[in-house]
Amino acid sequence: MHACLLLVLLAFAVYWPATILAAASQSEPPPQKLETLTTGTQTYSNVLVTSKSATHIIISHTRGMTSIRLSELDSNVLQQLGYEVKKPEPNRATEFTRGILDAWKEKTGGQQIDLDRVRALGTGILSAVAVGALAVYLFTCFCLRTICVKTGRNPGVLVWLPVFQAVPLLKAANMSVLWLPVLLLGSGAVSYLSVTGSKAALYVGAANALLSLLLSVVWCIKVSMARKKGALVGILLLIPVINIFAFLYLAFSD
- pLDDT, tens only, 99-114: 776 776 677 666 666 6
Residue 110 is assigned to a structural domain of this protein: no
Domain identity same for 140 and 232: yes
Domain identity same for 163 and 247: yes
Choice between 62 and 224, residue whose per-residue pLDDT is larger: 224
Which domain-ending residue is among 58, 86, 114?
A: 86
Residue 7 is assigned to a structural domain of this protein: no
Domain identity same for 193 and 82: no
Identify the domain containing residue 233 by its residue range: 125-252
Domain identity same for 184 and 80: no
Query: What DSSP line would sit under 204-231, residue for residue?
Result: HHHHHHHHHHHHHHHHHHHHHHHTTS-H
Average pLDDT of 166-171?
A: 93
Give the pLDDT score at 92: 64
Q: Would you say the pTM of this structure is higher than 0.75? A: no
User: Residue 198: which pLDDT band, with cuts at 50, 70 and 90?
Assistant: confident
Residue 141 is assigned to a structural domain of this protein: yes
Domain identity same for 76 and 131: no
Residue 178 is assigned to a structural domain of this protein: yes
Of the spans 42-56, 136-150, 174-188, which averages the highest pLDDT?
A: 136-150
Residue 116 is assigned to a structural domain of this protein: no
How many domains does the structure of the chain reveal?
Answer: 2
pLDDT tens sequence across 26-37: 445 567 788 888
Residue 68 is assigned to a structural domain of this protein: yes
User: Residue 139: which pLDDT band, with cuts at 50, 70 and 90?
Assistant: very high
Domain identity same for 129 and 243: yes
| Sheet (strand 56-61) strand order | 32-39, 42-52, 56-61, 64-69
Greatest Cα pair distance in the chain: 138
Long-range CB contacts (within 8 A, 24+) of 25-32: 32/80, 32/81
Residue 165 is assigned to a structural domain of this protein: yes
Domain identity same for 130 and 67: no
Domain identity same for 61 and 137: no
Domain identity same for 142 and 198: yes
Domain identity same for 144 and 248: yes
Give the pLDDT score at 134: 96
pLDDT tens sequence across 32-65: 788 888 877 778 888 888 888 878 888 888 888 8
